[in-house]
Copies of this chain bind each other. A is one copy, B any other.
Amino acid sequence: MNRKIAARCLAELGNLTRLDIYRLLVRAGPPGLNITDIQTRLDVPASTLAFHLRGLVGAGLVTQEKKGRTVICRAQYERMDGVVTFLREHCCEGFDSDLVAPLARRAS
């Protein structure tokens, strides 16, 4: 994980339509959902849906598997976990809580 990939993933999920798609896939779990199912549930034009799916796949948040003429989409949980870990990395580094406001702490 790096800054650019993390930003890309976050930006993809930062759009309401794509967030809805992603959450739908998170709910669906391992079996995933095909594109027509997503379309039916979210009521988005096919070309718009294709545009957003391309983004999610490009960011590595969703994977696709061709099954005949349908495409099964699945949320890629590890990718999101990587982003979250990255966001929390080095949290409070250089901040020693023992040195902060000792009086205030003693008072509580």
Question: A-side interface residues toward B, CB under 8 Å?
Answer: 3-4, 6-16, 19-20, 22-23, 26-31, 77, 80, 84, 87-95, 97, 100
- Copies, count: 2
Name the one of B8, B13, B30, B100 contacting A7, with C-beta atoms under 8 angstroms: B13
Complex Cα distance A26/B23, Å?
26
**Subset of 18 A-B contacts with CB under 8 Å:** A3-B19, A7-B19, A10-B14, A11-B15, A13-B87, A22-B87, A23-B87, A23-B89, A26-B88, A26-B90, A27-B91, A29-B91, A29-B94, A29-B95, A29-B97, A30-B92, A30-B100, A31-B100
Given contacts A3-B20, A19-B7, A29-B91, contact A12 B14 (CB under 8 A): yes
